[in-house]
């Protein structure tokens, strides 16, 4: 984005060029990245030609190259060394960060697939999911190969993020996107999956200290698990609700915008770096026993509703069973 803005700066000035680059970025992340690369090439080199400035041509070339590189499916090879670096980065960040299994032996050890780990709550930036599940050494050791699903834009549209996420891949699994095609591809192979079903709706409804999950209308993951006969595990992280502070108000408007794919939440964690979560808290993640779902190639609405209700009850039981252990004996789980 800076390279694109810099290529237009001699012709438009810094203020207009950066605003144009930001606007283009907001639009181009929604389209095919090959089209995005072509658009960046035309705009940046046209502006550089008008300005006839050498540095502008260099920045135009850099912007075009980075956008074209981002269009590739993979931009970095798996790196065990980098994964170890990420392990060390998460270790010790919080006062305590740990994953516990109700019955680890029932998971069948490494290589046992056909499992879906639904992680709650999403919170603002899914800190518990990231630190205890995605980059959780113990989770990797117990569960084995698992695919960790995140938003398609986050996974596929940011060049720097793709370097980090591509390097993550290894025997423990990979980070993939939450598109329906990806989920079906993985389930057809019988691979284990982990994701946060609450998504942006939970981020919008987040309130510091309240245990909330957006689950009443989130039934798609249950339908997929029924279609492919998966074992569905409820997973809950205590402490996620304390990772950030937020500004409330205008909830109906924000939820409406959320429905249009526009997350609207004002949050902060550390005073000196608001994007980073608060450190002095405990993040305890509990993995419950699996619901054994039948394999129904074409589940009816009634069957999806039935198993979704069973899952909600299993999640609530997991929460109530461990809330005292997590230091929150009087906590109440609110299901939206």
Q: What is the mean pLDDT of residues 224-231?
A: 97
pTM of the prediction?
A: 0.85
Q: Which two tokens stand for residue 64?
A: 């075009």
* Domain extent listing, the chain: 2-70, 80-335
Question: What value does the mean pLDDT of the chain take?
Answer: 84
Decide: 158 and 67 in contact? Cβ < 8 Å.
Answer: no
Q: What is the DSSP code (8-state) at residue 104?
A: G
Whether residue 229 is predicted with pLDDT greater than 70 in this model: the reply is yes
| Sign of the torsion angle spanned by Cα atoms 93, 96, 102, 103 | positive
Give 40: exposed, middle or buried? Use CB within 10 Å, 0-12, 13-18, 19+.
buried
Decide: 47 and 56 in contact? Cβ < 8 Å.
Answer: yes
Decide: 109 and 196 in contact? Cβ < 8 Å.
Answer: no
User: Closest Cα to residue 231, out of 187, 185, 176, 286?
Assistant: 187
Rg (CA), the chain: 22
CA angle 284, 285, 290 (to 5 degrees): 150
Which residues have C-beta within 8 Å of that of residue 141, sequence separation ≥ 6? 110
- pLDDT tens track for 50-104: 666 666 667 666 666 666 666 667 777 888 888 787 777 777 788 899 999 998 7
Half-sphere exposure of 323 (CA within 13 A, CB side): 13
Q: Give the CATH class of 80-335.
A: alpha beta
Decide: 132 and 98 in contact? Cβ < 8 Å.
Answer: yes
Whether residue 230 is predicted with pLDDT greater than 70 in this model: the reply is yes
Q: What is the mean pLDDT of residues 197-225?
A: 91
Cα-to-chain-centroid distance, residue 132: 13
Whether residue 238 is predicted with pLDDT greater than 90 in this model: the reply is yes
Q: Which two tokens stand for residue 333?
A: 């789980």
Whether residue 239 is predicted with pLDDT greater than 50 in this model: the reply is yes
Decide: 5 and 63 in contact? Cβ < 8 Å.
Answer: no
The span from the CA of 30 to the CA of 333, in Å, is: 35
- pLDDT tens track for 97-124: 999 999 877 775 554 689 999 999 999 9
The pLDDT score that the predictor gives to residue 111 is: 47
Out of 22-31, 80-89, 144-153, 262-271, pick the least confident: 22-31
| 265-273 long-range Cβ contacts below 8 angstroms, 24+ apart | 265/124, 265/203, 265/204, 265/206, 267/124, 267/206, 268/244, 269/243, 269/244, 269/245
């Amino acid at each position: 984005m800076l390279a694109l803005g810099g290529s237009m700066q001699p012709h438009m000035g810094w203020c207009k060029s950066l605003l144009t680059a930001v606007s283009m970025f907001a639009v181009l992340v929604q389209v095919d990245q090959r089209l995005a690369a072509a658009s960046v090439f035309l705009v940046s080199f046209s502006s550089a030609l008008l300005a006839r400035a050498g540095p502008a041509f260099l920045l135009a070339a850099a912007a075009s190259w980075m956008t074209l590189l981002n269009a590739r499916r993979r931009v970095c090879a798996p790196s065990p060394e980098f994964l170890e670096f990420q392990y060390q980065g998460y270790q010790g960040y919080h006062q305590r960060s740990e994953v516990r299994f109700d019955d680890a032996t029932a998971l069948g050890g490494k290589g046992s697939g056909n499992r879906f780990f639904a992680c709650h709550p999403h919170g603002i930036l899914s800190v518990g999911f990231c630190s205890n599940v995605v980059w959780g050494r113990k989770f990797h050791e117990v569960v084995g190969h698992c695919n960790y699903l995140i938003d398609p834009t986050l996974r596929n549209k940011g060049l720097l993020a793709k370097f980090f996420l591509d390097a993550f891949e290894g025997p423990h699994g990979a980070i993939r996107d939450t598109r329906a095609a990806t989920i079906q591809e993985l389930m057809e192979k019988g691979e284990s999956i982990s994701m946060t079903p609450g998504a942006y709706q939970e981020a919008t409804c987040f309130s510091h200290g309240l245990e909330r999950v957006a689950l009443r209308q989130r039934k798609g993951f249950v339908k997929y698990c029924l279609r492919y006969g998966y074992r569905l595990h409820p997973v809950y992280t205590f402490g996620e609700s304390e990772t950030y502070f937020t500004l409330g108000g205008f909830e109906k408007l924000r939820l409406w915008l959320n429905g249009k794919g526009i997350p609207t939440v004002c949050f902060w964690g550390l005073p000196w770096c608001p994007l980073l979560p608060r450190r002095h808290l405990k993040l305890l993640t509990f993995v419950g026993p699996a619901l054994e779902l039948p394999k129904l190639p074409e589940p009816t609405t009634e069957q999806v509703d039935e198993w979704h209700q069973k899952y909600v009850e299993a999640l609530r039981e997991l929460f109530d069973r461990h809330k005292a252990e997590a230091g929150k004996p009087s906590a109440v789980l609110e299901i939206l």
